[in-house]
Structure 1
Amino acid sequence: MAKTTKKKALGRGLSALLNDPDNDIKSAGDKNADKVVGNIVELSLEAIEVNPFQPRTSFSEEALKELASSIRELGVIQPITVRKLDFNKYQLVSGERRYRASKMLGLETIPSYIRIANDQESLEMALVENIQRQDLDPIEVALSYQRLIDEIDLTQEELSDRVGKNRSTIANYLRLLKLDPIIQTGMRDGFLSMGHGRALINISSTSVQLEIYEQILKDKLSVRETEALVKRTQEGSKTSKSREKPKVDEKKQKALKQISSYFGAKVEMKINKKGNGKLIVPFSSDEDFQRIKKLIQGDS
């Protein structure tokens, strides 16, 4: 307990230093920067703005109330991380839930780690730190990976090193972004797990994806049951494709009408994928057969 009190007292002392305009710290090389950067400082909540680079876009009101209740009892156990923008002006890098819950309680200050970083570094810190959290949904993680690749210009290999995840794991998350937006929303709302999403990715048709998604919700299918359903759907699709008749071009269709007219019967044409085929001339009786035979032989 004594250590906690000492740390808070130290934070207040550093806070006073930061509020001195004659000692404004703008870079890591400024006087007293070493006393502030990387240390825990009690900062005014009013001096902190939210992070526009925050990868998390939704916050559960119920979860925030639970966190606020915990903070009321125990205080902010883990400091937030901010970056210094200007004199007495800071921006969140990570810890927005703690920040929101503290404001909900009406607290005036919050323990903070101060960093000095530019926009790109702040984005990277926010994304990487948030990816490490356990409570992000799969789509939030996937979007964070995609932003690191797009905005920080990282390859999947470089991203793997930055976040400490296997490249295959990153690739699996990124593939989730190919799912229909409705299914992505279902994953964000907790109706589907990442396992369900990975199974659905194997369906190329968006409409079929959505049909299976509705069936998952209706029948409360497990991941294993979903995988089996996707497999049956794919096998059924292959079978139906193999049964599809090759299209007959206009010239052959015209010729087929002429041949049918010549024989006085509806002649059928069958063509395989290679272009080979056969003509089937139907007959209704012995006499009809003899008639067609004469036509073939050219007998009058």
Structure 2
Amino acid sequence: MAKATKKQALGRGLSALLKDPDHDIKSAEDKNADKLVGHIVELELTSIEVNPFQPRTSFNEESLRELASSIKELGVIQPITVRKLDFNKFQLVSGERRFRASKLIGLETIPAYIRIANDQESLEMALVENIQRQDLDPIEISLSYQRLIDEINLTQEQLSERVGKNRSTIANYLRLLKLDPIVQTGMRDGFLSMGHGRALINIEDPQMQLDIYERILERSLSVRDTEKLVRELNGDDAAKPAKKAKALPTEFKKGIREFSDYLGAKVDIKVAGKGKGKLIIPFNSEEDYNRIKKLIQGES
């Protein structure tokens, strides 16, 4: 009980620092700045404005309602981050979904980390934080990478270090921005995967890109089917006669059936010669992967 009382008193003390116009904290060098900056403070939602540098422009309403329901039940578990603009005036750096969801259920305050940063630092923090999210589409990630390069003047190597991704991965995302805008929209709306997009990049003619895009939608083409179609249209397969697949020995065919029955997956075996080969076990989801893993490890 004493611990809870002490925590509440600390909260009141931090809030008091924000309500004193005669000693307003405007920089990290100001008196008491160290007591405020980097700490969690309950801020009034009305004192916070959204970040104009926010790279995300659309928010799924159903997802917001689900988050709002969770916040109503459990509270805001992860504080938002804001930067101080003026007396009792703040701007979001990260956490706009939590901010919107809190407003949706009528909360008056929200826990927040306070930072003092200039516009460039704010943009970089917002972009890097946004890139780390798991629910971004490939085009959103590509645009965020491009903004970091253009507006923060980062090289791909520097960007790689900032976001913790391989340079080749970043380059692959950036190449998606060369796709026709209609194809990019299809990726943002979830009609195409990044794999489809990477295959279409190899088609330079924009109209042909759109023609293939329509075929993908009409025929529900997989990434592999799309790659094959692109190779055919580019003439890459013409000079490469198809290799005739070797017939599998009877013992391997039997093994495929036994593995498939046991694992509940369509197992395949590729034989290279001299007794070497590959056993291929596909899975449809993370849950399916964990199921197969337990079977292989002999777990119940």
TM-score between the two structures when normalised by the length of structure 2: 0.76
For residues 208 and 132 of structure 2, the distance between their equivalents in structure 1, rounded to whole angstroms, comes to 34
User: In the superposition, relative to structure 1, how do residues 60 and 3 fare at CA in structure 2: closer, same or farther (>3 Å)?
Assistant: farther
- Given residue 200 of structure 2, which amino acid in structure 1 is its aligned partner? L
- Given residue 140 of structure 2, which amino acid in structure 1 is its aligned partner? E
Deviation at 1:4, TM superposition (A): 7.9
Give the corresponding residue for 1:123: 123
- Given residue 222 of structure 1, which amino acid in structure 2 is its aligned partner? S
The structure with the larger Rg is 1
Whether 2:216 is the aligned partner of 1:224: answer: no
Give the corresponding residue for 2:143: 143
Whether 2:167 is the aligned partner of 1:163: answer: no
Deviation at 1:49, TM superposition (A): 0.4
Instruction: Show the 5 A alignment for 1:60-71.
Output: 60-71=60-71
- C-alpha distance after superposition, 1:131-176 (max 9, x if no partner): 1111111111100110011011111111111111111010000000
CA contact (8 A) 1:8 1:42 kept: no
- Aligned length in residues: 239
For residues 61 and 52 of structure 2, the distance between their equivalents in structure 1, rounded to whole angstroms, comes to 20
- List alignment gaps of at least 5 residues for structure 2: 240-300
User: In the superposition, relative to structure 1, how do residues 172 and 3 fare at CA in structure 2: closer, same or farther (>3 Å)?
Assistant: farther
Give the corresponding residue for 1:193: 193
- Given residue 214 of structure 2, which amino acid in structure 1 is its aligned partner? E
Once the two structures are overlaid, the 10-residue window that deviates more, 92-101 or 213-222, is 213-222
TM-score between the two structures when normalised by the length of structure 1: 0.76
Give the corresponding residue for 1:73: 73
CA contact (8 A) 1:12 1:42 kept: no
- C-alpha distance after superposition, 1:229-259 (max 9, x if no partner): 11112118989xxxxxxxxxxxxxxxxxxxx
Q: Aligned to 1:226, what secondary structure does the other structure show?
A: helix
For residues 82 and 11 of structure 2, the distance between their equivalents in structure 1, rounded to whole angstroms, comes to 14
- Given residue 86 of structure 2, which amino acid in structure 1 is its aligned partner? D
Give the corresponding residue for 2:48: 48
- Given residue 53 of structure 2, which amino acid in structure 1 is its aligned partner? F
Give the corresponding residue for 1:244: none
For residues 2 and 221 of structure 2, the distance between their equivalents in structure 1, rounded to whole angstroms, comes to 53
For residues 226 and 106 of structure 2, the distance between their equivalents in structure 1, rounded to whole angstroms, comes to 47
Q: Percent identity?
A: 81
User: In the superposition, relative to structure 1, how do residues 235 and 7 fare at CA in structure 2: closer, same or farther (>3 Å)?
Assistant: farther
CA contact (8 A) 1:12 1:41 kept: no
Whether 2:111 is the aligned partner of 1:111: answer: yes
- C-alpha distance after superposition, 1:208-233 (max 9, x if no partner): 11111111111111111111111112
- List alignment gaps of at least 5 residues for structure 1: 240-300
User: In the superposition, relative to structure 1, how do residues 2 and 193 fare at CA in structure 2: closer, same or farther (>3 Å)?
Assistant: farther
For residues 90 and 122 of structure 1, the distance between their equivalents in structure 2, rounded to whole angstroms, comes to 12
Give the corresponding residue for 1:213: 213
- Given residue 137 of structure 2, which amino acid in structure 1 is its aligned partner? D
Query: CA RMSD, aligned part only?
Result: 2.0
For residues 176 and 219 of structure 1, the distance between their equivalents in structure 2, rounded to whole angstroms, comes to 22
